[in-house]
């Protein structure tokens, strides 16, 4: 019998898990995928929003205004990359200036500090590469960028080291509400819990509607992206938005914390919650719109394209709290933009709600500090020499594009929540995230996974389930 079961190991579920690990609770996280950060949390814009866009008096506005201020301290505590690079909302027509002023007024109402309207000349001083069509911009210096992989993994690892249990490849297919607890069925395995936190992202409506008559519907909204080589990463320094439309913030052009350039997303509502295909029309559309912001983006430096699905609902706001007709069942649902920004504060809020019901004692051994994987290519030459002397495997480069060493990959495979597949290594170390997209380091990564996890190399997969890469011959084919 667990005190709390959290369903979903995305950034929100892991933030809740970390906050609950501050208490003496038996907490379990169930995740249907092979690892943390396998849904919406791994495919988004990686933006820490300043908070000017959310409608005042919504949960989005309330949480955004406070949560984005937590990242400076949190990134030091949990050792993940974060940068306040500031954001610019570009205006391309003087007739739209009233809309830009209205957006600033909304930001002021939400409590966003230091907002400023910049003239065309002032914009160009900050961003020389912006297109000639720009006439003004809203400047938000508190906007930032983050690595969503490292943020989610850091939250999960810290929760794990403080006592939270994680179980992967566990898809909750049904939930029974009994008198004083819940039964969660995952295939042949059943888990019992006094309380349940629904952080299942795109499938949070399915879980809620299993037990509550207060139904809601999650509508998958697809967004497609281009990721550019690091040669293009310094084209802009701020995150460049366009004036929002009813479908969102439009196409952004932004640097990443790892030095690449990111362009996207578009916004297409669909029925399929697992369709992550990219389309030529969609990618052509985001580039045409991105060139409105920066005309000189070189398309020939794209290294990969991808899409993500956002979990929006008809309520057009976060759904946070205890289901009104099911005591002990808590929803953290409909978490779309600015959900990544709001995740730390959502974690605190949901933990407070659960603890109000369970009344646990504080965990006297809770440690808020987590040390990430040492990045060899970010160390000074003196530090690199010291690392190699202490651990010779730092001298073996496995991923040439990102200069990732064998020592780093082995660290990723032996941490509290280890990588289990090739994507897990990529998320933790960036091995395979560079220009060749694992064209060079694939085989050695597979060998390291097989050797370290003591498994046949034929079972090594890209992302678990049916994504193995090698096929052995049987006797009939010899």
So what's the pLDDT on residue 475?
Answer: 44
CA distance 199 to 16: 9
Q: Residue 106 in 3-state DSSP?
A: helix
So what's the pLDDT on residue 366?
Answer: 98
Please, which residues have CB within 8 angstroms of residue 121's CB and are 6 or more apart in sequence? none
So what's the pLDDT on residue 249?
Answer: 60
- Residue closest to 204 by CA, chosen among 356, 17, 32: 32
The answer to whether 207 and 200 have CB atoms below 8 angstroms apart is: yes
So what's the pLDDT on residue 474?
Answer: 53
Rg of the chain, C-alpha, whole Å:
23
Q: For residue 398, what is the DSSP state?
A: E
Largest CA distance in the chain: 73
Encoding tokens for residue 106? 């909304």
Q: How far is CA 188 from CA 26, 27, 33, 185, in A?
A: 22, 21, 17, 7
Helix axes 71-78, 148-161, angle to 10 degrees: 60
List, in order of start, the domains of the chain with CATH numbers. 84-145+220-309 (3.30.9.10), 376-459 (1.10.10)
User: Taking the chain, what is the end-to-end CA distance rounded to the nearest angstrom?
Assistant: 51
Beta bridge partners of 219: 312
At residue 59, φ and ψ (nearest 5 deg) are -65, -35
Residues that are catalytic: 49
Query: Other CB atoms closer than 10 Å to residue 425's CB: what's the count?
Result: 28
Each of the 478 residues of the chain gets a pLDDT tens digit; together they read 999 999 999 999 999 999 999 999 999 999 999 999 999 999 999 999 999 989 999 999 999 999 999 999 999 999 999 999 999 999 999 999 999 999 999 999 999 999 999 999 999 999 999 999 999 999 999 999 999 999 999 999 999 999 999 999 999 999 999 999 999 999 999 999 999 999 999 999 999 999 999 999 999 999 999 999 999 999 999 999 998 755 456 799 999 999 999 999 999 999 999 999 999 999 999 999 999 999 999 999 999 999 999 999 998 899 999 999 999 999 999 999 999 999 999 999 999 999 999 999 999 999 999 999 999 999 999 999 999 999 999 999 999 999 999 999 999 999 999 999 999 999 999 999 999 999 999 999 999 999 999 999 999 999 988 899 998 655 454 3
Encoding tokens for residue 152? 């989610």
- Residue closest to 137 by CA, chosen among 156, 124, 154, 153: 124
Encoding tokens for residue 89? 């909302």
Whole-model pTM: value is 0.95
């Amino acid at each position: 019998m667990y005190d709390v079961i959290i369903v979903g190991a995305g950034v929100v579920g892991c933030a809740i898990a970390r906050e609950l690990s501050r208490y003496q609770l038996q907490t379990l996280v169930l995740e249907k995928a092979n690892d943390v950060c396998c849904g919406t949390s791994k495919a988004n814009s990686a933006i820490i929003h300043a908070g000017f866009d959310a409608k005042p008096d919504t949960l989005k506005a309330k949480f955004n205004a406070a949560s984005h201020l937590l990242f400076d301290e949190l990134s030091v505590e949990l050792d993940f990359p974060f940068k306040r690079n500031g954001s610019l909302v570009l205006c391309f027509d003087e007739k739209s200036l009233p809309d830009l002023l209205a957006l600033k007024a909304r930001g002021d109402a939400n409590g966003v500090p230091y907002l400023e309207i910049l003239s065309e000349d002032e914009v160009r001083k900050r961003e020389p590469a912006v297109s000639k069509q720009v006439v003004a911009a809203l400047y938000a210096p508190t906007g930032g960028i983050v690595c969503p992989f490292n943020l989610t993994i850091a939250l999960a690892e810290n929760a794990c080291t403080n006592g939270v249990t994680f179980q992967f490849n566990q898809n909750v297919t049904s939930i029974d509400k009994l008198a004083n607890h819940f039964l969660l069925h995952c295939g042949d395995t059943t888990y019992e819990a006094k309380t349940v936190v629904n952080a299942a992202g795109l499938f949070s409506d399915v879980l809620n509607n299993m037990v509550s008559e207060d139904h809601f519907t999650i509508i998958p909204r697809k967004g497609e992206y281009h990721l550019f080589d690091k040669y293009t990463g310094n084209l802009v320094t701020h995150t460049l938005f366009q004036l929002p439309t009813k479908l969102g913030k439009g196409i952004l052009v932004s640097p990443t914390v790892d030095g690449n350039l990111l362009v996207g997303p578009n916004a297409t509502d669909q029925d399929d919650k697992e369709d992550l295909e990219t389309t030529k029309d969609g990618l052509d559309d985001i580039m045409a719109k991105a060139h409105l912001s920066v005309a000189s983006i070189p398309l020939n430096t794209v290294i990969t394209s991808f899409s993500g699905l956002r979990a929006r609902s008809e309520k057009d706001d976060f759904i946070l709290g205890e289901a009104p007709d099911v005591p002990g069942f808590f929803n953290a649902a409909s978490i779309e933009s600015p959900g990544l920004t709001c995740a730390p504060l959502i974690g605190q809020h949901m933990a407070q709600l659960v603890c109000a019901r369970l009344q646990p004692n504080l965990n006297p051994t809770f440690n808020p500090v987590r040390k990430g994987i040492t990045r060899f290519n970010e160390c000074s030459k003196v530090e690199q020499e010291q690392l190699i002397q202490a651990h010779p495997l730092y001298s073996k480069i496995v991923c040439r594009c990102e200069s990732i060493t064998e020592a780093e990959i082995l660290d990723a495979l032996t941490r509290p929540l280890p990588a289990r597949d090739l994507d897990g290594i990529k998320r933790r170390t960036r091995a395979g995230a560079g220009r060749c997209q694992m064209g060079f380091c694939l085989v050695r990564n597979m060998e390291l996974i097989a050797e370290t996890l003591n498994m046949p190399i034929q079972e090594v997969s890209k992302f678990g389930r049916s994504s193995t890469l090698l096929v052995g011959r049987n006797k009939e084919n010899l």
